[in-house]
Structure 1
Amino acid sequence: MSGFKIKERRLAFQRVKKSALHCCVPFCSNSSRYNSEISFHSFPVDTAVRAQWLINIRRDIFSPTKTTRVCSRHFHPGDFVVTAAGLRRLQKGATPVLFSWNEYTLPTLRPNVWERKPRAESPNVNLTPFLTANSESEMETAAPDHDHCVTPAMANEMANENEALHRKIRYLQHQLEVLQLRTRFGIQRFAGSDEHIRFYTRFASYKHFQAFWKLVEPAVNTKMVRISNAKAASASSSEFSQPTTKLQPIDELLLFLMHLSVGLPLRDLAERFDINRTTASRIIATWTHFLYQLLGSQRLWIPRETVRAQLPPEFSAFPDTQVVLDCTEIFCQTPSSLLLQSEVFSTYKSHATFKAMIGMAPHGAITFVSGLYAGSMSDREIFKLSGIANLLTPDMAIMVDKGFLVDNLAPCKVYRPAFLSRNTQMSREDVMQTQSIARLRVHVERCIRRVKENKLFDKEIPLSVCGSIEELFNVACFLVNYQYGPLVKAWATQQ
């Protein structure tokens, strides 16, 4: 045995050279390799019949080729013709109709009404041109149309049923309206949630929101300028008209406040309120212009006597203070022009910004808002251009930060922390006054923080909306006087 070598047996799979035909119908696994009883047929050349084949086999995004086949199992037996050579051919116009989803059978046609219901035989009536009265009466009695009549009791019962159905319909309609009101995104959806009102509108509660709405509602239908184009920036391109959207005016106000307070984009607002994005843009532009004109026309600047009557005890050392001033900045998109970049670039923020000056009365109300200026502009220049100097009188005083070098511009007294030069030392009085001014000036910074809590100002302002951002920023400042309470709880009794 050792002299013989046993040859190792190895098994190898051989390829079948003969190609097989397969059926292209979904869920059909028929193949010509394993079934010689089934014939396979290519798609017809006729365009209409070919399209019907594609519809019947239910293949999405499918384009048959020369080798694409459909097996004979999907055709009626009568669709085939056997040639003299014994080959099975399809008749012209035959289409596949038998599939696994209809269990390879077709439902029987439903008989029509005449076949389903047996009919009484019609009586033989002599239809002569001249019928006698007796024959007419015989026809009427032979095949009467109805064999019943409506009694008064039946009529009353039907009326009661009809009334009950009407009541049920009214009830279901009311339930449908309540359901739609609950599912629709609007102010009524948040009527019982002050937390949602504070989040979406910055108003303290639903009651405060309704109080503000009662103030602006009379002017909505009389003074509101409907922006017919969201890109229009002035009233000349607008028209006085009633609301053209399906939203109620109070829901339009909610939409505007959500855009300002939460910073929701137009796409999100359009999805929530089930409107078009263009419509949402027009609503925002309309309410921005409307509130800017309405709230800005109110008296922001408070007379000196009223300010002193509402003066908090903390300002007793500075009783003639009329307004506390400070500047704030919001980020904007960096322009492509180098010249514009140098104008809007702020060295304080190291970014392109818009800059505005805000004035607060000692008791916490915003009484002055300037326009938006380039971020590179100094506080002194903004004070000069804002026009606040025209509102001040010699018997007033303003309280500013160290950067406001406006002593020669303001026609009144200026309370400002003292500067510490290199070779001098502040006196005890200067130190005490600086600390007092710093403690009081922090209130205007808290007031500005309320304005900038609106999430719209957290991101860069696109240059495409620079035409309306000034009005929008002013409206945000105006709304602070309505949305929040006093800056200090102890001042609440002073109002």
Structure 2
Amino acid sequence: MGKPNYCAIKDCHNKSGDKGRFGRTIKLHKLPKEGIVRSAWLRAISRKDFKPSTYTSVCSDHFPRGEGQSILQPSISHSESDQPKPCCSIDVIEQTHSYSKTPMRTLCESGTESENVPLSTASCTKNDKITQTNTPPAELSVQVTRPEIIIDDIASSDEEVLFYTGLPCYQAFKALFDTLIAAGADRMNVDDEIMMQEKSYRKLRLIDEFFMVMMRLRLGLLLNDLQYRFKISTGRVSRIFNSWISLMATCLKSIVFLPPLQTLQQKVPDCFKNFSDTRIVLDCTEIFIETPSALENKSLTYSSYKSHNTFKSLVGVSMTGAVVFLSNLWGGSASDVHITRNCGLLELLEEGDAVMVDKGFIHIQSDLKKKGVKLYCPPFMSAKRNQFSKSEVECTRRIASARIHVERKMEQIKNFRILQGILPISLSSKADAIFFVCSALTNLLPPLVK
């Protein structure tokens, strides 16, 4: 019997030498001889009572690059292969905690649980039980050229996982990845016709896409660096990063929230025993940005304090050191008080709450007083005297001892080195998501205050 020259996929009539998608000449790729690769191809062929032969082949139209070796599983049918895949809607991550009626998945079921951070990895060990999800079909894909580094290379070392991703252990990394997959990461469309035709195109496993995104956040790597490490084009690196960072910002909203004071008071750290009604500790932080070309934007983002163009955010931290509030990014010219009054935080506070701040926030005292909210702020030196009283010195010491933890939280956030350099204008549309994700990820670390 002669060698067949047609595609075995159901309803596909392509033959070797025909013109296929994007003007490419059709090539036939033989069915793999054995293993999971062969099984995946047979499922895609999807023909009832089909008996494969040594000549069974699938045409190049069913592979992203037209090369059967570049991806494990061809598309399900010819009609699907001709249609671009739509970007699916993403479900928000679910949550459960003592003060929410909504169920949520946890990262590590064992380990110390922080009372105000629903996803806790405070004590991740090799034996932790992880919430698993079924590996999506896209995770079965393989690539021609192996990246310089993949997550498997460091999975056995918590120290290396922390260095490369900012997460405390591989169990935390995998659990967060599984949560993102459940929220729609496997349905994100980061390809287009141009990408499919790029010679530099290599399909990464989804888990390595996520690893690459975490590396960029944690190490502040440039696109060209990631292109080299992961053997893909800079355009694809950018598309992958933008898609993942948007999904992560949506999902991680569930772990940045302001609990009721009664919940926070269930476990008050020693340094807050004199301020046990503190619901939130506030401070602002800034990240440098590339100087905008428009004069108005230059003015709005210029920070006289930093002598540079910046974005600025109000960060709220609980008594245990968890991030419980994040404002959107503002231009660096905005004052701490202006941001506090206009970011929506005041609407979340209730009578009986207390807020701890430094001297730069003293002018919000009147706003808080109207809501019956107390303000803890270090005393000011009066113009009529040149020294503090003994009680004022003690008050300053106690507030400083408690507020030190918000400064430690700021350091944790800035440990994601993408926030340490100058953020390029090309990332300005993703700046809010980047800052939010970096801040939220610190809630997956062990509590700052016990």
What TM bracket, shorter-length normalisation?
A: 0.5 to 0.7
RMSD: 2.5
Match of 2:58 in 1: none
Q: Is the 8 A contact 2:303 2:332 kept in 1?
A: yes
Cα 1:221–1:472 shift into 2, 3 Å: closer
Measure the CA separation in 2 of the matches of 1:467 and 1:190: 32
Could you give the per-residue CA deviations for residues 307-349 of structure 1, whole angstroms, max 9, x where no partner exists?
1112212211011000100000111112234433222111111
Q: CA shift at 1:461, angstroms?
A: 1.2
| 1:191 and 2:152 correspond | no
The correspondence for 2:424, drawn from 446, 462, 472, is 462
Match of 1:406 in 2: 364
Could you give the per-residue CA deviations for residues 292-311 of structure 1, whole angstroms, max 9, x where no partner exists?
11111445222222211122
Match of 2:399 in 1: 437
Q: CA shift at 1:417, angstroms?
A: 0.5
Measure the CA separation in 2 of the matches of 1:450 and 1:299: 15
| 1:375 and 2:336 correspond | no
Match of 1:447 in 2: 409
Alignment of 1:266-277 (within 5 A): 266-277=223-234
Cα 1:427–1:202 shift into 2, 3 Å: same
Match of 2:317 in 1: 360
User: TM-score of the superposition, structure 1-length normalised?
Assistant: 0.56
Measure the CA separation in 2 of the matches of 1:265 and 1:334: 18
| 1:428 and 2:385 correspond | no
Match of 2:165 in 1: 201
Measure the CA separation in 2 of the matches of 1:359 and 1:393: 15
**What amino acid sits opposite 2:390 in the alignment?**
R
Measure the CA separation in 2 of the matches of 1:463 and 1:209: 29
Q: CA shift at 1:380, angstroms?
A: 0.3
Cα 1:451–1:428 shift into 2, 3 Å: same
Alignment of 1:4-153 (within 5 A): none
Q: CA shift at 1:185, angstroms?
A: 2.8
Q: CA shift at 1:215, angstroms?
A: 3.5
Q: Is the 8 A contact 1:331 1:353 kept in 2?
A: yes
User: TM-score of the superposition, structure 2-length normalised?
Assistant: 0.62
Cα 1:396–1:408 shift into 2, 3 Å: same
The correspondence for 1:311, drawn from 262, 265, 268, is 268
Q: CA shift at 1:285, angstroms?
A: 0.4
Measure the CA separation in 2 of the matches of 1:323 and 1:387: 14
Alignment of 1:258-273 (within 5 A): 258-273=215-230
| 1:487 and 2:448 correspond | yes
| 1:389 and 2:352 correspond | no
Cα 1:374–1:184 shift into 2, 3 Å: closer
Could you give the per-residue CA deviations for residues 186-215 of structure 1, whole angstroms, max 9, x where no partner exists?
111112232321211011222332233343
Runs of 5+ consecutive residues of structure 1 not aligned to the other structure:
1-176, 230-243
- State the structure with more CA Rg: 1
Match of 1:166 in 2: none
Q: Is the 8 A contact 2:255 2:443 kept in 1?
A: no
SS of corresponding position for 1:368: strand
| 1:283 and 2:240 correspond | yes
Could you give the per-residue CA deviations for residues 14-63 of structure 1, whole angstroms, max 9, x where no partner exists?
xxxxxxxxxxxxxxxxxxxxxxxxxxxxxxxxxxxxxxxxxxxxxxxxxx
Q: CA shift at 1:470, angstroms?
A: 1.0
Greater RCO structure (CA 8 Å; 6+ sep):
2
Measure the CA separation in 2 of the matches of 1:436 and 1:451: 24
Match of 1:49 in 2: none
SS of corresponding position for 1:408: helix
**What amino acid sits opposite 1:453 in the alignment?**
N
Q: Is the 8 A contact 2:255 2:440 kept in 1?
A: no
Q: CA shift at 1:183, angstroms?
A: 6.8
Measure the CA separation in 2 of the matches of 1:221 and 1:267: 24
SS of corresponding position for 1:253: helix
Runs of 5+ consecutive residues of structure 2 not aligned to the other structure:
1-140, 193-200
**What amino acid sits opposite 1:402 in the alignment?**
K
Runs of 4+ residues deviating >4 angstroms: 180-184
